[in-house]
Amino acid sequence: MNDTHAGASPGRGDAYFAVFPDREDAAVAARLFTRPGTRIVPHASGRPWLVGRWHDDEIVTAQAGPAALAVIGCSPLDATQLRQRTAQLRDLAQLDALARSTPGSFHLAAVLDGRLRVQGTASGLRLVFHAEIDGVRVAATRADTLGAALGREPDVEQVAVRLLWPVPHPMLETPLWQGVTAVPPQDALLIAADGRTARHSRWWTPPEPVRALAVGADLARDALADAVTTRTRQGGTVSCDLSGGLDSTSICFLADRSPAHVVASTWPGRDPADTDLHWAKQAAQFLPDVDHVVWDADASPLVYDDLLTIDDLVDEPTIGVMDRSRVLHHLPAMAERGSRLHLTGIGGDHVAWCSEAYYHRLLRTHPLFALRQLRGFRALWQWPLAGTARALGDSRPYGKWLADCVGHLRDPLPTTVTGALGWGGTPRLFDWVTPEGERLATRALAAAAEQAQPLHRDRGLHADLEQIRSCTRIIRQWDAMAAKAGVPMASPFLDDRVIEAFLAVRPSERVSPWQYKPLLAAAMRDVVPQVCLRRSNKAAASMDASNGLREHRADLLALWEDSRLERLGLVSGDALRGLAQRPATPGLQQAILYSTIAAEVWLRGLPRGAKAGATTST
């Protein structure tokens, strides 16, 4: 299938698109999504099917009779393979197997006899939304494009929800525009041939964590290697983060085995106790064909840098704005060195390690083993005995736990053990949030609790999946920002096949107080030299955060002048301006400002005419 487009070809890594039924009224609706540079993949009838923005390298399409398939993103599927799949398509449910077996990270769109299927990734890195526009059901990979087509302003209640710290599942899945519906990552969107009727169909279920580490390590290595190979098999030059940690080091060594030339990038920390550079140099000694670039630590942007000029946000607030400058700063220099793609180790913390909350179940099924491990965790994380006992004894189902949070949003922050061994971090609102902001957030939280279901019945696996999805919501935006900065980013640990391979290993062997990331170390034993696998910690970058608060306090003060959140009645500008003048205030080191800053920066970045409006009253 061929697409049509106007204007310059977009950069790699910034693809987005909308999907339309094969109907005349849908073709009319598609005009709302057509802008300079828009590309179109038509149905066999010639009417628009996919309308959006993508690079030639990011899309593969095929058509055979009444069926058509499109893969947008990163996958090993070529046009010939996709044509074969398309010719064999008799039922859209057949695509479950394709989605569950293909490496990479991609959106999958299909049409069969006029019926549509659209899905993203189980990780949540690639999302799907839908809305009824002029009587037609339209799907899109960004919620803001649908909100704009509907002529809607962001819902102030959903903005208030984003002030919670943290935002609990499933509240992050609700788009900020009324009339726009999110498809849960584990589901595909199905649109009937009438172009109006839509439903969600589950295509992904997390693996049960029952595989022994001895077997699971090899499968995890193979999945991670496939994820890296999918991105490096074309050769050329790619760049990699090399922090010296197990995650980025593993990606570097895997990339070095590919046809691509590798440039490794290390940002040393400013803290004299930071050992990243030592470990990175040690790894580089075993990578003679890799160009190792070490940056000046003092040139690295601090946390909170450049908050006032951010203009590349997507469709929701993200705490990723705090580190945006640090993440993107070196990418133009990587582009100058010829890099076509920058690989990161992001996500390794979320899949190679796992939540200690598994021990809530393990204590009941393997009590002696669990007690021994829990003693180690208490010593490692300094958990108080009473708090540990309370967390382990808490057997409330997820919905009840969430409902019980409703009346305690202003309570002091709970101890870390409460979240570590429970259903997750307990949401809080802070002093600068107004009573109106609290009312709106409380109402939304109570409504969510009425029907909330955990991501898995085991609170450990629930916590793992929630943390992965929280991470990918940040990476989703960083990826778009990186593409605009000149080099697209990729995080192989967050591919679905990699997540599945790691999550399938028994939690008793994945997380231990006695060994750091034992599964990843075992998986990489034949890839990464043993001396590089001995690292048992990671840099915290706490000095960069504290220095950022001090050095950027003028920017933070300016952020709260004429605050958009204050205009909406959600925060006290005076309270926030006062905090900006006191960066050493106890509690700020715990990132409690992050969600508020994220919402403020996002509101400031909205296009003219898209300012947040009044919420629906009750």
Which tokens is 156 given?
């102030």
User: What local confidence, expressed as pLDDT, does residue 303 receive?
Assistant: 84
Residue 6 has pLDDT above 50, yes or no: no
Distance CA 375, CA 393 (A): 16
Q: Render pLDDT for 455-471 as a digit per residue (tens, 0 to 9).
A: 999 999 999 999 999 99
Q: What average pLDDT is seen over the chain? A: 92
Residue 7 has pLDDT above 50, yes or no: no
Residue 546 has pLDDT above 90, yes or no: no
Secondary structure (3-state) at 583: coil
User: What local confidence, expressed as pLDDT, does residue 612 receive?
Assistant: 66
- What is the pLDDT confidence band of residue 610, given thresholds at 50, 70 and 90? low
Residue 539 has pLDDT above 70, yes or no: no
Quote the Cα angle for 333-335-339, to 5°.
120
Residue 614 has pLDDT above 60, yes or no: no
Residues 427-444 have a mean pLDDT of: 97
Residue 617 has pLDDT above 60, yes or no: no
Residues 364-379 have a mean pLDDT of: 96
Residue 332 has pLDDT above 60, yes or no: yes
Give the global pTM.
0.95
Residue 618 has pLDDT above 50, yes or no: no
User: What local confidence, expressed as pLDDT, does residue 583 receive?
Assistant: 76
Residues whose CB is less than 8 angstroms from the CB of residue 523 and which lie 6 or more positions away in sequence, other chains included: 217, 218, 220, 221, 224, 250
Residues whose CB is less than 8 angstroms from the CB of residue 540 and which lie 6 or more positions away in sequence, other chains included: 271
The percent helix, strand, coil of the chain (3-state, each to 5) is 45, 15, 40
User: What local confidence, expressed as pLDDT, does residue 11 receive?
Assistant: 57
Concatenating the DSSP letter of every residue in 94-143 gives GHHHHHHH--SEEEEEEEETTEEEEE--TTSSS-EEEEEETTEEEEES-H
CATH topology of domain 4-202: Glutamine Phosphoribosylpyrophosphate, subunit 1, domain 1 (3.60.20)
**Would you give the distance in Å from CA 23 to the centre of its chain?**
34
Residues facing 358 on adjacent strands: none
Distance CA 458, CA 358 (A): 7
Q: Render pLDDT for 558-597 as a digit per residue (tens, 0 to 9).
A: 999 999 999 999 999 999 999 888 877 776 767 889 999 9
- What is the pLDDT confidence band of residue 256, given thresholds at 50, 70 and 90? very high
- What is the pLDDT confidence band of residue 163, given thresholds at 50, 70 and 90? very high
Distance CA 557, CA 312 (A): 22
Residues 238-250 have a mean pLDDT of: 95
Residues facing 202 on adjacent strands: 187
User: What local confidence, expressed as pLDDT, does residue 470 receive?
Assistant: 96
Distance CA 95, CA 598 (A): 37
User: What local confidence, expressed as pLDDT, does residue 433 receive?
Assistant: 98
E strand or H helix at 468 = helix 459-485
Residue (of 483, 490, 329) closest to 12 by Cα position: 483
Residue 302 has pLDDT above 90, yes or no: no
Domain residue extents for the chain: 4-202, 381-455, 543-605
Residues whose CB is less than 8 angstroms from the CB of residue 51 and which lie 6 or more positions away in sequence, other chains included: 17, 18, 20, 30, 33, 34, 38, 39, 40
Q: Render pLDDT for 177-194 as a digit per residue (tens, 0 to 9).
A: 999 999 999 999 999 999
Residues 502-525 have a mean pLDDT of: 95
